[in-house]
Amino acid sequence: GAGVSQSPSNKVTEKGKDVELRCDPISGHTALYWYRQSLGQGLEFLIYFQGNSAPDKSGLPSDRFSAERTGGSVSTLTIQRTQQEDSAVYLCASSSNTGETQYFGPGTRLLVL
């Protein structure tokens, strides 16, 4: 595609529910990154993929968070048993290879009530 796309753009859920966020990277980009940005804060690294592999999962806040990538393209970030502190904007970025410039998607705004 022309750019990184993410869905849904907004998600409101109740505490305790599971949510799934989707990222569709730029076509041909092998590296994919997930970040979280709380209101007025910087970007918090969550996880990155090189192809379908996630060499570094150290940024995931807890075992409620998981991510996968299939076919070297689309990635999903799943948050189980959501908590109010999970409320944030979740940003996905892709790059042609690790270490190269990242291009960001529009983000998913998650609100946990």
In the bound complex, what is the minimum distance in angstroms from residue 18's beta carbon to another protein?
24
Q: Does residue number 103 form part of the binding site for another protein (CB under 8 A)?
A: yes
Work out the burial of residue 84: count CB atoms within 10 Å of its CB; fewer than 13 is exposed, 13-18 middle, 19 or more buried. exposed
In the bound complex, what is the minimum distance in angstroms from residue 106's beta carbon to another protein?
5
Number of residues forming the site for another protein (CB under 8 A): 19
Residue the block writes with tokens 């996968």: 68
User: Which residues in 24-83 contact another protein (CB under 8 A)?
Assistant: 33, 35, 41-43, 45, 48, 55-56
SS (H, E, C) 5-63: EEECCEEEECCCCCEEEEEECCCCCCEEEEEEECCCCCCEEEEEEECCEEEECCCCCCC
**Contact at 8 Å (CB) between 113 and 14?**
yes
Task: Choose one: 14-22, 62-70, 72-80, 105-113; the region binding another protein (CB under 8 A).
Answer: 105-113
Comparison of 60 and 91: residue with beta carbon closer to another protein = 91
Comparison of 3 and 16: residue with beta carbon closer to another protein = 3
Return residues touching another protein (CB under 8 A). 33, 35, 41-43, 45, 48, 55-56, 91, 98-99, 101-107
